[in-house]
Amino acid sequence: MHAKRYRLVVFDWDGTLMDSTAVIASSIQAAARDLGYPVPDIEIAKHVIGLGLNDALQIAIPQLPASEYRRMADRYRVHFLAKDPATPLFQGAAQLLEELSERGHLLAVATGKSSAGLARSLKATGMQDLFSATRCADQTASKPAPDMLTELMDELEVTCDVTVMIGDTTHDLQMAAHAGVDAVAITHGAHSRSELQALNPLTCVDSIRDLGIWLRSNA
């Protein structure tokens, strides 16, 4: 087995490991509908996935005043939580994480979810023991700021040259670039292949299976 190029592998959660893009987008749309605001089209609702919730709402529903963010967020959570327990990981994701851990990589999560939301998903999927550290949008600056990655690297005492970020959105790739970290894009989530490739990731894969193949040869 070749020497590890990347000591730390950081994953986005929604749309990267968990097949939750449609659930999140439809929950944003339903929350807007509930409160009588213009309903964003599905592409806009998908585009904001990965951002912190307030940032996402500001872009998806620009007519929404800041005084309404909390009420809109509450409606979003009602719809999201109704569907969340049935939301699966992408096929092969759990096995890939276990394989990477067994190979000695440190694993972490950088996500636009709240810390409570990520904790709930980790418990539901049984993945909580595989990750050495996590950062969420209610703990530090939201993507595409570099803070999630820089804080994870500081906590785990890992440098940027041996860290790789894996995500399904331009927000993930921009965060990695701002942190000086290599990035890999996966196309089965929120943003299109053309959007992702425009930011020059190391590679752009279409599935967890293809991601595993790339990581075995390159990580």
3-state secondary structure the chain: CCCCCCCEEEECCECCCECCHHHHHHHHHHHHHHCCCCCCCHHHHHHCECECHHHHHHHHCCCCCHHHHHHHHHHHHHHHHHHHHHCCECCCHHHHHHHHHHCCCEEEEEECCCHHHHHHHHHHHCCHHHCCEEEECCCCCCCCCCHHHHHHHHHHCCCHHHEEEEECCHHHHHHHHHHCCEEEEECCCCCCHHHHHCCCCCCEECCHHHHHHHHHHHC
Give the model confidence (pLDDT) of 81-137 as tens digits: 998 888 999 999 999 999 999 999 999 999 999 999 999 999 999 999 999 999 999
pLDDT(1) > 70: no
> Could you tell me the two tokens for 202?
């190391």
Give the model confidence (pLDDT) of 139-179 as tens digits: 999 999 999 999 999 999 999 999 999 999 999 999 999 99
CB contact at 8 A, 144 and 178: yes
The boundaries of every CATH 1.10.150 domain in the chain are 21-86
What class does CATH assign to 21-86?
A: mainly alpha
CB contact at 8 A, 163 and 181: yes
The owner of tokens 């595993």 is 212
For residue 169, what pLDDT is reported? Answer: 97
For residue 3, what pLDDT is reported? Answer: 60
Query: What pTM value is reported for the model?
Result: 0.95
pLDDT(18) > 50: yes
For residue 110, what pLDDT is reported? Answer: 98
Task: Determine whether 12 is an active site residue.
Answer: yes
Our separate counts of H helices and E strands in the chain read 10, 6
Query: Of these residues, 14, 168, 172, 182, which one is catalytic?
Result: 14
In CATH, which superfamily holds the domain spanning 8-19+88-218? Answer: HAD superfamily/HAD-like (3.40.50.1000)
The boundaries of every CATH 3.40.50.1000 domain in the chain are 8-19+88-218
Q: Which of 46-55, 137-146, 194-203 has the lowest mean pLDDT?
A: 46-55
For residue 84, what pLDDT is reported? Answer: 83
> Could you tell me the two tokens for 169?
């959105």
Mean pLDDT of the chain: 95
Cis peptide before 62 (omega within 30 of 0): no
